[in-house]
Amino acid sequence: MSPNTYPSVNAERLWQRHMDMAKIGGTPGGGVHRLALTSEDIEAHVLLVQWAEARGFSVALDPMGNMFLRREGSDPSLPPVSSGSHTDTQPNGGRFDGITGVLTAFEALETINEAGIETRYPLEVAIWNNEEGARFTPACMGSAAYVGFTDLDDMLSRKDQQDTTMGTCVEELAKALPQAQPRDLGTPIAFFIESHIEQGVKLETSGNVIGAVTGMQGYRRFEIEVIGEDAHSGTTPRSRRKDAFVAATDMTRAMREVLWDDEDEMRYTIGRFDVLPGGVSVVPGQVNFYVDLRYHDKATLDRLADEIPEICKSHADPCEMRIVDTPSVDPMVFPEDVVTSIEAAAERHGYGHERMYSYAGHDARHVARICPAGMVFIPCWKGISHNEAERAEPEHVAAAAQVISDILIDRAAA
């Protein structure tokens, strides 16, 4: 296919689809609150399927709740060339994180379909379940289970704060989509590309529109339970308390001493910290909290993360503690030919581009374990993400869809 015959995406339609999606779980503050497989998230899946069926695309669901919208190719024996991301958001998250990757992929399929292009490989939009990890841990659950990085039964047994299991939620999703065909986990994928807002300020600062992502930070995660003893705040002297709040905050502070680097490259976050039972006048007998640690260099990441259990233990007294070192993810790099294909597509359409690193984890990280994969970043206002104020520009979203469309055409024709 010659450069000038790549069909143009429909920027207006793509933006409208973003606005339609933002209504599902939309917040008064202009964001989206659509936790994984809540009724809102299931509604988002159903809407995507309605759009897909209007195009004659088929739908499949795997046992982990990942969804696939498919446009057939000419050779039914070939695995799909795929793009996508996720529909779930953080609590009071934004209108672009995840859904932009899904909608740009869908726009690419619609564009290719309207242009009447026959591909050899089937094309798919993948919607990975529970990328955010906000309702159920761990994050990127759907893509990780798909590629065999985590165990399906373990993931389906995970519970949210209301003790609902992921398994129950996946059943709800399946019930809402009776037309979906079953798909086995690990079913081969020929190629995967994901577009996403940058969630940083590099593109905004440089003025470039397309980031060709070269690799991704690794992370380590710990779940820590500090177990003390509930006690009356008025009657119990300090010497008789087993105050889980005091012990847990001492732990988080001690970790800070070790993890806060002068270069400001290490990402150390306590985002969830549950103090129980939570009465104003009760010395808290338990704190459950999570450590999220990210870095680009595996050796340093592991060296520091391996210190965390000992740091926490040394501040537990007089409480007890349990620490779970949850599955870690190593820093990774995307194949060079995928990065260059992104640059070529950007160049073709006159989009300013640069190579960059991803500080966030994304589903593409896991999918890259089973096929060539890559990521396309677009600018994001002030780098703000996981926040109602998250914002991307219509022309940047369209640029991502254009790059994805071009690349899918090339990969699926080959």
CA 17 to chain centroid, in Å, comes to 20
Nearer to a copy of itself, 208 or 249 (CB): 249
Return the HEC string of 158-189.
Answer: CECCCCCEHHHHHHHHHHHCCCCEECCCCCCC
Q: Rule CB under 8 A: which of 356-385 touch a copy of itself?
A: 358-361, 383-385
Is 330 a residue that touches a copy of itself (CB under 8 A)?
no
CA angle 283–287–293, rounded 5-degree value:
145
For the CB of residue 160, give the shortest distance to a copy of itself in the complex, in Å.
12
Radius of gyration of the chain (CA): 22
**Total residue length of the chain:** 414
139 binds a copy of itself (CB under 8 A): yes
Quick one: 51 or 96, whose CB is closer to a copy of itself? Answer: 96
In this chain, which of 162, 175, 280, 350 binds a copy of itself, going by CB under 8 A?
280
Separation CA 324–CA 154 (nearest Å): 15
Q: Is 212 left (phi over 0), alpha (psi -120 to 50) or beta?
A: beta
Q: Between 54 and 280, whose beta carbon lies closer to a copy of itself?
A: 280
Where in 184-223 is the site for a copy of itself (CB under 8 A)?
Answer: 198-201, 217, 219, 221
**Measured from the CB atom, is 17 or 86 closer to a copy of itself?**
86
Footprint (CB under 8 A) of a copy of itself, residues 149-178: none
| H or E, element range at 72 | none
Q: Per CB under 8 A, does 260 bind a copy of itself?
A: yes
Joined together, the tokens standing for residue 286 give: 């338990």
User: How would you classify the pairing of strands 231-232 and 282-283?
Assistant: antiparallel
Nearest CA-CA partner of 371 in 317, 411, 324: 411
Is residue 28 a contact residue for a copy of itself (CB under 8 A)? no
The residue range among 78-86, 128-136, 178-186, 344-352 that interacts with a copy of itself, by the rule CB under 8 A, is 128-136
> Any contact of residue 294 with a copy of itself (CB under 8 A)?
yes
**Which residues contact a copy of itself (rule: CB under 8 A)?**
90-92, 132-134, 137, 139, 198-201, 217, 219, 221, 229-240, 243, 245-246, 249, 252-253, 256, 260, 264-265, 267-285, 290, 292, 294, 358-361, 383-388
